[in-house]
Amino acid sequence: MKLYNTLSRNTEEFTSIIPQKAGIYVCGPTVYGAPHLGHVRGPIVFDVLRRYLIQQGYQVRFVRNITDVGHLVGDADEGEDKLQKQARLEQLEPMEVAQTYTDMYNSVMDRLNVIRPSIEPKASGHIIEQIEMIQTILNQGMAYEVDGSVYFDVEAYRNASNNYGELSGRVVEDLVAGAGNQSRDLEGQTEKRNPTDFALWKKSSPEHIMQWSSPWGKGYPGWHIECSAMSAKYLGEFFDIHGGGMDLLFPHHECEIAQSKAAHKHTPAKYWVHHNMITINGQKMAKSLNNGIKVEELFTGNHELLTRGFGAATLRFFVLQAHYRGTLDFSEEALLASDKGLARLVAAEQLIEGLKVSEVSTVDFSDIIDSIEYALNDDLNTPIVIAQLFEAARRVNLVNDGKETIDSNSKDLVSSLFRDYFRGVLGIPSNQDSSDNGTLDSVLKLLIELRSEAKLSKNYALSDQIRNKLKESGIELMDSKEGTSWKKA
C-alpha cells in the first residue's frame, strides 16, 4: 500500500522493515481531561491503518502511550504541572486524575470500536528508560546540564551533520528569528544556550508533586523524551510507522527524531504519518482554545451546538468520510448527514441475508471490491471506500426491489464485502445502545400488535393515536409490507 510519508513529503510504497511484521507507534493522550472530539480522529485513523495491515497479512504491534507525567501549562499557568493543576482543582492525587481520565479515554475508544493497543505504556512507568536515554545523549555530547535540568543541544546535534528540521521543514535560523517575534516567554529560556534547545529533564520545585530522582536531582522528564524512550523499548530503535496529529509535527516529532538520532545513531521511524485536525467553524478543536466538544457530550447531545445525541458508530463514520490528511469541519448538520447515510448502509447490509437468489446475476460486486482495495492502497482513502459501499448498497436495494437479480456467488461476495470492509477495515460498530432495549422491545411489540388489530378493523383513530403518542415519547413506528418496526427517534 501507499502511504504519505511526512519525512519525504511524498506518497511512498509501504514496505515493512521485517517482512509481514509492522510496528506502529502513535502518540496517545495526556490524561488530564475528558476526551473531546479532537482526540478521536487519530485513534480512529490509525485503527483503520492497523486493521488494514492486519487484513493484508501483517502481524502488527501497535503501541500507544499514555502521558501521565506532568507537562507545563503555558501562558498564565506557567511552571505549573498540568496534571498537578487539575489535581488541586479536584482535590485528588495526580495519579488518581491520570487513572480517571485514562479509564474515560479507553472507554470512549472501546465504544468507537478502536482496537486496544498491543502495548499501552505509561510515561510514569518508564522514568528509568527516559533517564537512561537522556544519559546516553549527554554522553554523546549532545545535551548539557544546567542547575538540575538537562537540555538538548541543537547546535551540537547539527554540528554532527544532522539536520534539525528534516521532518517539519523548519530552518533553525528562521526559528530563532521568529522566536523573538511571536513566541511566548517561557521558563528556562535563560538556562538554554540556544533558543532552539529543548528540555530533556526539568528540575522540579518542591511544590511539584510529580517528581522523580535522577542523576541531576529531583525533577521530571521533558516533553518529548517519553515517546522516544518507549517506542525504542517496545518497537526497537528503528520501527515502521510513527503516527500522530499534525499539531505534533513540530516540535514534538522533530525533537523525537533528534533525540533518537543522538542516542541511537539513526532515525527512529521509517514512515511518519500525520493526520489533520477536526475543526469547528474552520478552527482547530483544542482544549486550549476551549472550543472542544467532549465525546460524552456528543453521545448524549448535551451541548449547545447539538440538538440530539449521536452514536459512536456515527462519529466513527463521520471521521472516516474525510481523508485523514485533510481538515474535517464539524457541525451538527454534517454529523446528521453521516448519521443518515450510515443508517442506509446498515439497512442495506441487513437486507443481504434475505436476498432472493436467482440463477443469473445482473449485478456484480467485484468491481466495487477492486475500487475499495485500490482506495485503501492509495494512502488510506476511506471516503472512496465509503462511496463504494454506498454503490454496493444501491445494488443490494435494487435486487431487493426486484429490479435486478443476484446469484449465490454475488450474494456471498457482497456479504463478505460488508463484513470485511464496512465492519472489518473501517471498523464501524453497531450504533445500538444495548441498554434496556430488551424490555422496551417486548412492550412495543404488544403496542404494535394492538395497533395492527386496530388497523385491520379500520379503527384508524386508535392506530394513529398509538403511533402519535409513541412519537411524542421518542419512539417512531415504521410500517412496511413485512410488518411494523420501531426505532428511537
Partner RNA sequence: GGUCGGAUGGCCGAGAGGCUAGGCACGGGUCUGCAAAACCCUCUACACCGGUUCGAAUCCGGUUCCGACCUCCA
**Residues between 3 and 62 that touch RNA (CB under 7 A):** 27-30
Subset of 51-110 contacting RNA (CB under 7 A) = 65, 67, 69, 71-74
Under rule CB under 7 A, residue 397 binds RNA:
yes
Residue 47 burial by CB count (10 A; 0-12/13-18/19+): exposed, middle or buried?
buried
Q: How far is the CB of 183 from RNA (least distance, A)?
A: 3
Q: Closest approach of Cβ 19 to RNA, in Å?
A: 28
Distance CA 181, CA 167 (A): 23
Q: Shortest distance, CB of residue 176 to RNA, whole angstroms?
A: 5
Question: Which residue stretch of 13-21, 359-367, 421-429, 474-482 sits at the interface with RNA (rule: CB under 7 A)?
Answer: 474-482
Smallest gap, in angstroms, from Cβ of residue 221 to RNA? Answer: 8
How buried is 114 (Cβ within 10 angstroms: 0-12 exposed, 13-18 middle, 19+ buried)?
A: buried
Q: How far is the CB of 416 from RNA (least distance, A)?
A: 20
Q: Which three cell numbers stand for residue 49?
A: 491503518
Query: Widest CA span of the chain, in angstroms?
Result: 91
Contact with RNA (CB under 7 A) among 132, 155, 329, 407 = 329
Among 393, 417, 428, 470, binds RNA (CB under 7 A): 393
Closest CB to RNA among residues 282, 354: 282
The footprint of RNA on residues 248-267 (CB under 7 A) is 248-252
Least distance from C-beta 140 to RNA, angstroms?
19
One residue of 161, 181, 190, 473 binding RNA per CB under 7 A: 181
String of DSSP letters for 139-169: HTTSEEEETTEEEE-HHHHHHTT--TTTTT-
Q: Does 121 bind RNA (CB under 7 A)?
A: no
Q: Residues 253, 169: contact at Cβ < 8 Å?
A: no
Residue 243 touches RNA, criterion: CB under 7 A: no
CB of 473 to RNA, least distance (A): 15
Contacts 24+ apart (CB under 8 A), 51-55: 51/115, 51/424, 51/425, 51/426, 51/427, 52/1, 52/376, 52/380, 52/425, 53/22, 55/420, 55/424, 55/425
Beta carbons within 10 angstroms of residue 377's beta carbon: 16
**Residues 331-360 contacting RNA, CB under 7 A:** 331, 333-334, 336-338, 340-341, 343-344, 347-348
Instruction: Give the C-alpha separation, 266 to 262, whole Å.
Output: 8
**Segment lying near RNA (by CB under 7 A), choices 206-214, 355-363, 385-393, 428-436:** 385-393
199 touches RNA by CB under 7 A: yes
Q: How many CB atoms lie within 10 A of CB 116?
A: 12
Give me the least distance between CB of 18 and RNA, in Å please: 26
Binding mask 122-141 for RNA (x = CB under 7 A): -x------------------
Helix 82-90 with 94-111: angle, nearest 10 deg: 100
Which residue's CB is nearer to RNA, number 113 or number 388?
388
- Distance of closest approach, residue 134 Cβ to RNA, in angstroms: 13
> What are the Cα distances from residue 456, in Å, to 131, 367, 412, 425, 462?
78, 46, 39, 46, 11
Kindly state whether residue 279 participates in binding RNA, applying the rule CB under 7 A: yes
- List 125, 141, 169, 474, residue binding RNA (CB under 7 A): 169
Determine the Cα–Cα distance for residues 228 and 143; give it in Å rounded to an integer: 15
